[in-house]
Amino acid sequence: MCLAVPGKIEAIMDDGADELRRAKVDFGGVKKEVSLAFTPEARLGDYVLVHVGFALSVVDEQEAQKIFESLKEMAELEDAEAS
């Protein structure tokens, strides 16, 4: 039930009160309208994590890269050990 899926904001509707902000979000081709009530900082093009129709957080792209950077270092270390 705590499933949340990342999708990209394609359009933002009703830029009025925070609790009414909604967006059209693209989930790999499937498009859905999502509430931005809890993510007033979300902007066009951002990826948001969506749970039961509400964006719960804006995905932090820099943080998302970190694991792949450490995996790369790990790979170099493994290669060095192997040679």
Partner 1 sequence: MKFLDEYRDRAAVERLSRAIRRAVTRPWTIMEICGGQTHTILKSGLEDLLPREITLVHGPGCPVCVTPVELIDKAVAIAARPEAMMCSFGDMLRVPGSQSSLFDAKARGGDVRIVYSPMDAVKLARMNPERQVVFFAVGFETTAPANAMAVWQAAREGLANFSVLVAHVLVPPAIEAILSAENCRVQAFLAPGHVCAVVGFKDYEPLAARYRVPIVVTGFEPVDLLEGVWMAAQQLEAGRAEVENQYSRAVAREGNRPAQKIVAEVFEVGPRQWRGIGEIPSSGLRLRGPYRQFDAAERFEMAAPGARESADCISGLVLQGLKKPYECRVFGTGCTPERPLGAPMVSSEGACAAYYLYGRHKAR
The binding site for partner 1 (CB under 8 A) comprises 1-6, 8, 18-19, 27-28, 35, 37-40, 47, 49, 51-54, 56-57, 59-61, 63-64, 66-68, 71, 74-75, 78
- 14 CB contacts (<8 Å, ≥6 apart)? 20, 21, 22
- Answer for the pair 25, 41: CB distance below 8 angstroms, yes or no: no
d(C-alpha 54, C-alpha 34), whole Å: 6
User: Cα 50 vs. chain centroid, distance in angstroms?
Assistant: 8
Query: Which residue, 31 or 54, has its beta carbon nearer to partner 1?
Result: 54
Query: Which residue, 11 or 32, has its beta carbon nearer to partner 1?
Result: 32
For residue 78, the minimal CB distance to partner 1 (Å) is 7
For residue 2, the minimal CB distance to partner 1 (Å) is 4
